[in-house]
Amino acid sequence: MLSSSTGECQLYLISPPEFRLDDFRIKLSEALETGKVSCFQLRLKNVADVDIRIASKALLPICQNHGVPFIVNDRPDLAAEVGADGTHIGADDIGYKEARRLVGKKGIVGISCYNSKHTALVGAEAGADYIAFGAFFPTTTKTPRTRAELELLTWWQQTTTVPCVAIGGITVNNCTPIISAGADFIAVISGVWDHSDGPSAALVRFDKLCSPSN
């Protein structure tokens, strides 16, 4: 499972919406070689199952070689099939109970809770390994379902020990309030892959902000 035991905010890296697999394998490997990524999620929308299988076959070994959990978005069934470490589900996906059945007791199941305290509490009570709040900022990756406020993160830290992930338009320029509010993980997409100095440089900068003592 994902752990927030370090006491510092960690980086949850998500794949870009579209990519050429041959190129992205190299980019992901370079990103993970920084040692700054705690989890990676393969998120491919509106693609055929075979595309998720092919991408997983290519990217899962890279994550395994770096000791980084590999999560498949939306599809617990394919996560189980390809041997992923877990899955992430949203409001329009199958429920937590079925996702847990598919990935097993040892698999990671994360759930999107958007800006809902109730959904988060229900998910945590059911046994989710982490919950995700967002979007905190405007994002070009997808049309956000909701806008989340920073107080959600602080409230969550005061309420439970289940890790929380902050997502939505997070960059090195705006992540400090998210970290200060209490996010255990910050989910990063374009803030890493589209960074002007490259993904590896972005991850190092994110990590310094997450771990100011380093």
Residues 32-90 pLDDT 10s: 999 999 999 999 999 999 999 999 999 999 999 999 999 999 999 999 999 999 999 99
Q: Is residue 195 part of a domain?
A: yes
SS3 string, 93-117, reads: CCCHHHHHHHHCCCCEEEEEEECCH
Cα Rg of the chain (Å, integer) = 16
- The pLDDT value given to residue 76: 97
| Marked catalytic residue, from 4, 38, 56, 112 | 112
Q: Is residue 214 part of a domain?
A: no
Q: pLDDT of 79-123, one tens digit each?
A: 999 999 999 999 888 999 999 999 999 999 999 999 999 999 999
- The pLDDT value given to residue 213: 62
Domain range enclosing 153? 10-209
Q: Is residue 71 part of a domain?
A: yes
pTM: 0.95
pLDDT at residue 1 above 70?
A: no
Torsion on CA atoms 63, 65, 69, 73, rounded to nearest 10: 20
Q: Is residue 5 part of a domain?
A: no
- The pLDDT value given to residue 211: 83
Q: pLDDT of 9-29, one tens digit each?
A: 999 999 999 999 999 999 999
Q: Is residue 3 part of a domain?
A: no
- The pLDDT value given to residue 174: 97
Query: What is the count of structural domains for the chain?
Result: 1
Q: Is residue 4 part of a domain?
A: no
Q: Is residue 90 part of a domain?
A: yes
| Marked catalytic residue, from 142, 147, 180, 208 | 142
| Marked catalytic residue, from 43, 75, 100, 205 | 43
Q: pLDDT of 142-160, one tens digit each?
A: 677 788 999 999 999 999 9
Can you tell me the distance from the alpha carbon of 13 to that of 19, in angstroms, rounded to the nearest whole number? 15
Is residue 43 annotated as a catalytic residue, yes or no?
yes
Q: Is residue 188 part of a domain?
A: yes
Give me the residues paired with residue 86 across strands.
71, 108
Can you tell me the distance from the alpha carbon of 56 to that of 162, in angstroms, rounded to the nearest whole number? 27
CATH number for 66:
3.20.20.70
Contact 55, 16 (CB under 8 A): no
Q: What confidence category does residue 212 fall into, taking pLDDT thresholds of 50, 70 and 90? A: low
- The pLDDT value given to residue 8: 87
Is residue 112 annotated as a catalytic residue, yes or no?
yes
